[in-house]
Amino acid sequence: MSDIKIRIKNLSKIFGARPESVLKYVEQGMDKEQLLEKHQHILGLHDINLALENKNIEVIMGLSGSGKSTLIRHINRLIEPTAGSIEVDGEDVLKMNSKQLRHFRQSKTAMVFQKFALMPHHTVIDNAGFGLKMQGKDKAFIDEHARKWLDRVGLTGFENHYPAQLSGGMQQRVGLARALACDADILMMDEAFSALDPLIRSDMQDLLLELQQELHKTIVFITHDLDEALKIGDRIAILNGGRLVQHGSPQEILLNPADDYVERFVADVNRTQVLLAKSIMVDEKPQDQTQSVTCQEDETVHTVLHTLLSEDGSYVVVEDSEGRKVGYIDKETLADTVFQSEQKSAA
Amino acid sequence: MEFLEEFPSMGRSDLRDLKKMIDGGFREFTRSYGEAIEGFFDPLLGFMVWFEKLLLSTPWPIIILIIGGIAWLGSKSIKVTVGSVLSFLVIGYFGMWEDLMSTLAIISVATVLCISLGIPLGVMMARSNRVQAVVTPVLDIMQTIPAFVYLIPVVMLLGIGKVPGLIAVSIYAIPPIVRLTNLGIRLVEKEALEAADAFGASYLQKLFGVQIPLALPNIFAGINQTIMMALSMVVIASMIGVAGLGVPVLRAISNQYLALGLMNGLAIVALAIIFDRVSQSYGTRIQKHRQGGDHV
Ligand SMILES: Nc1ncnc2c1ncn2[C@@H]1O[C@H](COP(=O)(O)OP(=O)(O)OP(=O)(O)O)[C@@H](O)[C@H]1O
Ligand SMILES: [Mg+2]
C-alpha cells in the first residue's frame, strides 16, 4: 500500500476571540452562517480528516472562503488549530517547539503563494536562494543551486532583476524556483497559478507536471479551478464551508459525487476528457464481436471513442501497461457515457 | 449666581502650596541625584566637546570636501552637491564658519542619538500593541509641549551647557523617527512576512532581512524629519548655552540687529535645505527596486 506523508486528524479551526468556547456548537452541527450570526466567530475548518499520500499531487478544492488556505497553512503551522492534530512523516507538528518548527519549515516544507510573496528588495537570484539562506547554507552553495533552479524554470538571464521588473508568470517561476531549491519533500502551493492568465497558467501546469516526473515530491495543490485539479491531481479533496465533503481520485469524484455541492462542482467538466477506459470497462466480452480495437486502460474515454470510430471497430479490448487484457467496452456503453456526459454539462 | 460667574478654583493659598511642594520635591531630587545624573552624561559631554573641536580644528577645505562627498554619495545629484558646497562657502564667507561648525556638531550628535534610541523603540512598538499604546501618547506630549516647559527641569537638573541642550533638542526631535519606524514596519507586506515564516525565518532574520529593509523608505523619512526638527531647535538650544548659529540670532533679537539675525537665520535655512535634499534623495534612491523599469 502507498504510504501516508501528511495525516490530518479531527482538525478544526475557528477564528474569533474565544474559539474554544464555541467549538461545542460546531460539534453539535451548527454551520458557518449560524456561528457567525449567533456567536460572532468564523468557522474556518471543522473536523477535517485527511491522509495525503507520499509523492502524490494532492489537490484541495472548494469555493472561495471554504477554508483551503486555512487548511494548507496548518500543515506547516502558519496557523494554530483550535482542535485536532497534524502529523508529517509520523511526527506531530503541533508538539514541535519554535526551534524544531523552524527547522521543519526549512527542511520539510516549501511553499508557493498565490500573490507570489517574493521579497521586493531582493534580486531574482537572492529570492530563489531565500530558502537555502534560511537553511544556513553557504554562499557558494546558495548561488549554485539558485542558479540551477532558475534555469530549470526558464529564467536564466534574469538573475539580477528585481521582482517588480518581471511579469506575473515570471514572478511565479521565481516563487517556484525558491520553493524547489529548498529540496523539501513537501511542496505546498496555495492557488499558485490562479493569478496568471490562462495560457501562462497552462504552461506552468505543464512545467509542474514535468518537474514532478523526476522530483516525486508530495505536492499539496490548492485551486478553485476544476479543470486544473483534474489535469494535475492524483487525488482531489473537496471542501465546503470548512468541512471536507469528498476525497478521492478524479475518476471517483466524477463518477460518484458525494453530494449536490460536488455534483455542481463537476457539472461543467467534459467527462470524456477525464474518465478513463478502466473506469467504464466491464469483465464480460460483449455480444457483438465483429471487429475489435485495443486501447490502454489509462486512455481517456475521448481517446477510446476516437480510436473506435477511426478504426471502425465494434468493441474495445482494454489492456494494461504490460499488454494484458483487463476488460472490455462495448459500443453502447461508450455511447452512453458520452451522451450522459453531454447531458450533465448541458444541465 | 456667584458660582457660575467665577470659576470654582482651588484657592490661591492651596495652589501656592501645591506648586511649592512640587518645586521643593524636584529641587530635593536635583540636590540628591543631580550630580549622579550629570556624571552619567559625562561621556556624552566629552564626545560632544571632542567632536566640536574636531570640526573646528579641521582645515575648512577638508570639511568642504567631506560635505561635498557626503552630499554626492547621498543624492548622486550634481545639483545638490554643488548647491551644498556653495552654501557652505557662502556661509563661511559671511563670517559664520565657526558657528556653522558648532551647529553641525550638535545636530549630528543629536541625530545619531535620536536614531540609535528611536529605531529600537520603533521596532518594539511595531512588535507589540501594548508598547505602542504606551509610547504613542508620550510621543504626542513630547511633540506638543512647548519646548520652554521641559527646558526648566532639564536646566534645573543639569544646569546650562551642551548636554542639557542636546537633551532638549533630542526630546523634540526623536518622535518622528520612532513613529515612522513603527509605521514602516507595520506597513510591510504581510505576504512577504508570511513567506519568510514559511521558509523558517527566525524573528531576527525577519526583522533585519525583511521588515527593516522594507521599512527603510519610511525610516528615512523619519530621519529626515528628525534632522529638520533638531535644526528648528537650534535657536532655543542656544538659550541654554549651546554654541552655534542660534546664538547670534538670539543676540539679534534682543538688540534688534536685523542683518545679523537675517544672515544666521538664512544659514540655518540653508543647512536645513541641504540636509533635506540629501537625505530625501537617498531615501528615494534606496526604494528604486519598487518601481520596476530598468534595473540598477
Ligand atoms: N485570520 C483570519 N481571521 C478571521 N477569519 C479568517 C482568517 N483567515 C481566514 N478566515 C476566514 O476563514 C474562512 C476560510 O478562509 P480561507 O482563506 O481558508 O478560504 P479559501 O478557501 O482559501 O478562500 P479563497 O479561495 O478566497 O482563497 C473564510 O470565511 C475567512 O473569512
Ligand atoms: Mg485562499
| pLDDT values of chain B reduced to their tens digit, one per residue, 296 residues | 677 888 888 888 889 999 999 989 988 888 888 888 888 888 989 999 999 999 999 999 999 999 999 999 988 889 999 999 999 999 999 999 999 999 999 999 999 999 999 999 999 999 999 999 999 999 999 888 888 888 888 888 888 888 999 999 999 999 999 999 999 999 999 999 999 999 999 999 999 999 999 999 899 999 999 999 999 998 889 988 889 999 999 999 889 899 999 999 999 999 999 999 998 888 888 777 666 544 43
pLDDT of residue B293: 47
Chain A residues inside the 8 Å CB shell of B215: none
- DSSP classification of residue A155: -
ipTM of predicted complex: 0.85
Domain boundaries, chain A: 54-78+92-108+184-267, 273-346
3-state secondary structure (DSSP) of residue A115 = coil
Nearest-atom number in ligand 1 for the CA of A44 is 12
Q: Angle, to 10 degrees, between the axis of helix B97-127 and the axis of helix B246-255?
A: 110
Give me the tens of pLDDT residue by residue for chain A, a chain 347 residues long.
458 999 999 999 999 999 988 988 888 888 888 899 999 999 999 999 999 999 999 999 999 999 999 999 999 999 999 999 999 999 999 999 999 999 999 999 999 999 999 999 999 999 999 999 999 999 999 999 999 999 999 999 999 999 999 999 999 999 999 999 999 999 999 999 998 888 889 999 999 999 999 999 999 999 988 889 988 999 999 999 899 999 999 888 888 889 998 888 887 777 787 888 888 888 888 887 788 888 888 888 888 888 888 888 888 888 888 888 888 888 888 888 888 777 766 65
Beta bridge pairs of residue B285: none
Is the distance from the beta carbon of residue A195 to the nearest atom of ligand 1 less than 6 Å? no
C-alpha cell at B267: 544659514
Pairing of strands A109-112, A4-15: unpaired
Mutation target vs B (from A75, A99, A102; most B CBs, 10 A cutoff) = A102
Inter-chain CB proximity B289 and A121 less than 8 Å: yes
3-state secondary structure (DSSP) of residue A6 = strand
User: What pLDDT digit, counting tens, does each position of B65-101 carry?
Assistant: 999 999 999 888 899 999 999 999 999 999 999 999 9
**Any B CB within 8 A of A78 CB:** yes
The CATH fold assigned to A54-78+92-108+184-267 is: Rossmann fold (3.40.50)
CA pseudo-torsion sign B160, B164, B165, B171:
negative
Nearest to A117 among B192, B213, B293 (CB): B192
C-alpha cell at B92: 563661511
Closest by CA to A124, choosing from A59, A174, A66, is A174
Contacting residues for B237 by C-beta, under 8 A, at least 6 apart:
B106, B165, B166, B168, B169, B244, B246
- For ligand 1, atom 10, name the residue with the nearest CA: A44
CB B295 within 8 A of CB A161: yes
**Any A CB within 8 A of B213 CB:** yes
pLDDT of residue A347: 58
Side-chain-facing half-sphere of B168: CA atoms under 13 Å: 32
Chain A residues inside the 8 Å CB shell of B200: 101-107, 131, 134-135
Cα of first residue to Cα of last residue in chain B, in angstroms, is 77
Q: How far is the CA of B3 from the centre of ligand 1 (A)?
A: 61
CB A329 within 8 A of CB A272: no
pLDDT of residue B292: 52
Q: How far is the CA of A69 from the centre of ligand 1 (A)?
A: 7
Quickly count helices (H) and strands (E) in chain B. Answer: 14, 0
Q: What values do phi and psi take at A109, rounded to 5?
A: -125, 150
- DSSP classification of residue A96: -
Distance between CA A274 and CA A117 in Å, rounded? 33
Closest by CA to A98, choosing from B197, B186, B126, B128, is B197
Closest by CA to A315, choosing from A296, A334, A336, is A334
Contacting residues for A127 by C-beta, under 8 A, at least 6 apart:
A118, A119, A163, A174, A178
Chain A residues inside the 8 Å CB shell of B290: 120, 164
Entry pTM: 0.84
Residue A197 burial (10 A CB sphere; 0-12, 13-18, 19+): exposed
Is the distance from the beta carbon of residue A224 to the nearest atom of ligand 1 less than 6 Å? yes
Q: How far is the CA of A16 from the centre of ligand 2 (A)?
A: 18
Cell 534595473: give the residue. B295
- Residue A115 sits at the vertex; the CA angle it makes with A50 and B128, to the nearest 5 degrees, is 85
Distance between CA B260 and CA B251 in Å, rounded? 9
**Any A CB within 8 A of B199 CB:** yes
pLDDT of residue B107: 93
Q: Which domains does chain B have, with CATH numbers?
A: 95-295 (1.10.3720.10)
pLDDT of residue B282: 87
User: What pLDDT digit, counting tens, does each position of A311-341 carry?
Assistant: 888 888 888 888 888 888 888 888 888 887 7
CB A345 within 8 A of CB A267: yes
What architecture is domain A273-346? Answer: Alpha-Beta Complex (3.90)
pLDDT of residue B295: 41
